[in-house]
Structure 1
Amino acid sequence: AHGEDIVFPEHPLLVTGSRDHKIHVWKLPILQEDTVGETTFDSGESENPYLIAVLAGHTQSVRSLSGYGNIIVSGSYDSTVRVWDLLDNARCKHILQGHQDRVYSTAIDYSKKVCFSGSMDSTINIWNFETGELLKVLEGHSSLVGLLTLVDEVLVSAAADASLRIWDPVTGELKSKLREHAAAITCFEHDGLKVVSGSEKQLKVWDVRRGEFARDLLYDVTGSVWNVSIDYKRCVAAVQRVNRAGEGELFLEILDFSESQQN
C-alpha cells in the first residue's frame, strides 16, 4: 500500500516432492544463524521448526518440481501439473490437465507467467500458470520426455528416444534435433550456448546456436553417465564404470572447457 517492494521468500526455501504424494516447503537452515548442529528432526510435521507448509492434492508420486518466488509448479505420476502460490497460504491455484500419462519434468518462466511440462505421453505442454490455460503442445519426441531445462530463452528437452530437442519457448518452434546418443538420455545441462548430455557409455557436448554435435567428452565410460553439471569453465559428471569383477563403480569426472595456457 505504501509502494514498498515485497521480497519473497524472506529466507531460502527448500521444496521437496515425494512418493507420499505430498510437497513439503522447508526453511533452509543457515548454520551461521541457526544452531542446529547435528540435530535430526524425526518428530511430527507440526513439531518441526523448519517445515513451513505441506502441499497436498496430487494422488500419485510427485516427480518434478520447478519454482520461482512465490510460485511452485509440480508434475506428478497422476498426469497432472499443479500450480501453488506460497503467498496465498500455499493454495493450489490450478490443476493443469492435458497430459495422457505421467508427468516427469517441468520448467518455469516466471517473468512470462509460463510453465512447461514433459510427459510419458511424449509431449511437452506449455501453460499459462496465471490463468491455467494450455497454450501449446509440442510434439516430436517418440518416447518419455524425462528432462526439461529453460535457460536464456532456450528450452531444451531430453527423452528416452535418445534425442534432445531445442525449442523456442515463446512460439513453440522446434529449432534443432540433436541425435547422436545411442540410448536414452539420463542427464543433461545447458547454459544457452552449449548442452552437455549423458547416456549409457556416452557424454557429449552440443552447440546450441548451430544445433550441432560438437564432440564427445569421454571415451572410456563402460556404464552410464548419471548426472552432469556445468558452468562456463568446467563440467562435473557422475560416471559409472564396470570393473573387472563386473561391478559398477561411480566416479566424478571433472573436465575443463577453458583453453590451455601456454607459458
Structure 2
Amino acid sequence: MKLRSWLSTCSSATSISTADDATSLPPQTTRNFLFSDTSSASPSSQDTSSSSSSLQSNLSLQTLPSVPSLQKLSPDQTLTLALSSLSHHHVLASLKPRPLHVTALALHHNLLYAASGTEINVFDVNSYALVDTFNGKDSLSGSVKSFTFCNGKVLTAHQDCKIRVWKSTETKRHKLVATLPTVMDYFRRFIFPKNHFQIRRHRKRLWIEHHDTVSGLAIANNLIYSVSWDKYLKIWSVPNFRCLQSIKAHDDAINAVVASIDGTIYTASADSRIKVWRPPIGERKYALIATLEKHKSAVNALAVNDDGTTLFSGACDRSILVWEREDSANYMVVTGALRGHSKAILCLINVSDLLLSGSADRTVRIWRRGSDGRFCCLTVTNAHEKPVRAVTAVTEGGSPGGGAVKVFSGSFDGEIKVWKVFVSTLNSQ
C-alpha cells in the first residue's frame, strides 16, 4: 500500500483510543502517553471538536490579541492559561504557482522550493516573489516528491524513478547538472551481469537504479539517502554521486526517510514499520539495528529533533508517535502520542523545539514540548480546502522556543499558505 492510497486507508480506519486504552500500546511502552490537544478540557471527541473550532475561528484575524498577564496566577492556572494563549497567528500570504497538487516544500538560503506536479517553483521567503521556475517542460519526469540540499546543489526526487541534481546560478536560475544514477556509474556497472537483478518477469534493472517512484531524500555525513516505493533504500556518495549500497529495507512501499545528526537513518513504510539503520562499528556499509512497530497502518512521515534523540512518526492511523532513545545502544521506545488530527498524517517537520504536522483533515497543527516533558498543541490552522501534503518553517528572531515562526503549508488544493506564528515562553510576562 503506497502513500497514494491513504484515502482508502483513512476511510476504513477504526477510531483511535485514548491514552488509557491498553490495546493502543503495550503497558511497558505507554509512559507519558498523552492526549495532547490542550485546547480541549478532556479527550472526548465532542470537546475536541468544539475546541478545535474555537481555535480555527481565529485564523482570519489580522490583529493579534494580547497575551494575558500570568503574574498573579497559581502554577496550575499559569500553565493552563499559558497553553491556551501561547501562540497567535495570521495569514501573511497565499501562493498558488499552478492549479495542481503541492507535493513538496523545502527552505534553503531564504528561498522556498515548492513542487507542483512536474514543475518546481522558487520563491523569495521575504518578498514572496517568484524567483525561478524549472523542470516544468520535463513532463516525463513525473511529480516531484522530495527535496534535499548538498554543497550548493538542489536534489529532487521524481516519480520517474530518478534523482535529479540542479545547480543554482548567480541569478538564482537552476540548471540540471546530473541525473542519478549518473551515466558514468551506469555504464561502469552495466557490463557485469552480477550487477543486474530481476524486478519482475522478463525485466531486469541495475541494482543502482530505483524502479519505482523515489519518495524521499535525506543527507548526512556527506552521504545521500534515497527511498522509493520499490521498497529499497539506496546510499549515494558525495560529490561524485555514485551509488554505494542498495538495501531492500521494507516489505512494502517506503514513504519517508530522515537522517539524524549522528548519521542514524530512519525509514518509514506502508508496511506499518519504521526501521533504523547504521553501520556497525568499524564498517562502512549500513545495517539494520532496530525495527519499530507500534503504528497500526501505513507510516507516511518522519521527523527527528535537532540532537537526534527524539523521533516523530505520523501514520494513516491519525496518530503521531514520539520515540526516544532508551539507552546508549540506541534502543528506542514510544514515550508519547500526539492526538488531535482526524485523518491521516501526511507530513511532519521539527523546527527548534516545535513539531509541525500536516494532515488529510486539511489542518496544520503546531506542537511543543513543555518543561515537564509533555507535548501540547499550540495552534491549529484550517485555511486549506484539501489535504495538507507538505509543511516547512523557519524561526525569526527570539530565543529558541520563543519569538516568531514563519510557516509554509502546501496542499492538494494547489495553494501554499504562509503563516506567522508568535510563540511566547511559559514564563513570559
TM-score by length of 1: 0.75
Asked if residue 218 in structure 1 is aligned to residue 405 in structure 2, the reply is no
Q: Distance in 2 between matches of 1:194 and 1:163?
A: 17
Alpha-carbon RMSD: 3.0
User: CA 1:215/1:62 → structure 2, altered by over 3 Å: closer, same or farther?
Assistant: same
Amino acid at match of 2:290: K
- 3-state SS of 2:345 partner: coil
The aligned residue for residue 73 of structure 1 is 225
Q: How many residues align?
A: 230
In the alignment, which of 168, 185, 199 is matched to residue 29 of structure 1?
168
TM-score by length of 2: 0.48
Shift of 1:157: 1.2
User: CA 1:226/1:92 → structure 2, altered by over 3 Å: closer, same or farther?
Assistant: closer
User: CA 1:23/1:195 → structure 2, altered by over 3 Å: closer, same or farther?
Assistant: same
In the alignment, which of 186, 190, 197 is matched to residue 346 of structure 2?
186
Asked if residue 176 in structure 1 is aligned to residue 339 in structure 2, the reply is no
Shift of 1:215: 3.6
Q: Distance in 2 between matches of 1:251 and 1:10?
A: 25
Asked if residue 141 in structure 1 is aligned to residue 304 in structure 2, the reply is no
The aligned residue for residue 5 of structure 1 is none
- 3-state SS of 2:227 partner: strand
The aligned residue for residue 393 of structure 2 is 230
- Given that 1:53 and 1:90 are in contact with CA atoms closer than 8 Å, whether structure 2 keeps it comes out as no
Amino acid at match of 1:20: D
Shift of 1:144: 1.5
The aligned residue for residue 246 of structure 2 is 95
Shift of 1:135: 0.4
Return 5+ residue gaps in structure 2 as ranges: 1-148, 182-207, 396-403, 425-429
In the alignment, which of 216, 237, 250 is matched to residue 64 of structure 1?
216
More helix by share: 2
Question: After alignment, is 222-231 or 169-178 more displaced?
Answer: 222-231
User: CA 1:249/1:69 → structure 2, altered by over 3 Å: closer, same or farther?
Assistant: closer
User: CA 1:151/1:20 → structure 2, altered by over 3 Å: closer, same or farther?
Assistant: same
User: CA 1:249/1:92 → structure 2, altered by over 3 Å: closer, same or farther?
Assistant: closer
Amino acid at match of 2:228: S
Return 5+ residue gaps in structure 1 as ranges: 1-8, 42-49, 242-247
- Given that 2:226 and 2:235 are in contact with CA atoms closer than 8 Å, whether structure 1 keeps it comes out as yes
Q: Distance in 1 between matches of 2:414 and 2:243?
A: 43
In the alignment, which of 152, 156, 167 is matched to residue 16 of structure 1?
156
- Given that 2:353 and 2:368 are in contact with CA atoms closer than 8 Å, whether structure 1 keeps it comes out as yes
Amino acid at match of 1:163: S
Amino acid at match of 1:207: R
The aligned residue for residue 143 of structure 2 is none
Asked if residue 257 in structure 1 is aligned to residue 417 in structure 2, the reply is no
Residues 164-219 of structure 1 show CA distances to partners (whole Å, capped at 9, x for unaligned) of 11212532222211121110113332225221222214332222353433343236
In the alignment, which of 256, 260, 274 is matched to residue 124 of structure 1?
274
Q: Distance in 1 between matches of 2:249 and 2:410?
A: 36
Report the structure number with the largest CA radius of gyration.
Answer: 2
- Given that 1:191 and 1:231 are in contact with CA atoms closer than 8 Å, whether structure 2 keeps it comes out as yes
Amino acid at match of 1:54: L
- Given that 1:226 and 1:237 are in contact with CA atoms closer than 8 Å, whether structure 2 keeps it comes out as no
Q: Distance in 1 between matches of 2:293 and 2:247?
A: 18
Amino acid at match of 1:31: E
Q: Distance in 1 between matches of 2:163 and 2:243?
A: 11
Q: Distance in 2 between matches of 1:168 and 1:113?
A: 16
In the alignment, which of 352, 362, 366 is matched to residue 205 of structure 1?
366
Q: Percent identity?
A: 23
- 3-state SS of 1:81 partner: strand
Q: Distance in 1 between matches of 2:235 and 2:347?
A: 25
Shift of 1:251: 5.9
Q: Distance in 1 between matches of 2:415 and 2:232?
A: 34
Asked if residue 151 in structure 1 is aligned to residue 151 in structure 2, the reply is no
Shift of 1:226: 3.8
Q: Distance in 2 between matches of 1:201 and 1:11?
A: 35
* Higher RCO (CA < 8 A, seq sep 6+): 2
Q: Distance in 1 between matches of 2:156 and 2:242?
A: 16
Asked if residue 167 in structure 1 is aligned to residue 323 in structure 2, the reply is yes
- Given that 1:192 and 1:208 are in contact with CA atoms closer than 8 Å, whether structure 2 keeps it comes out as no
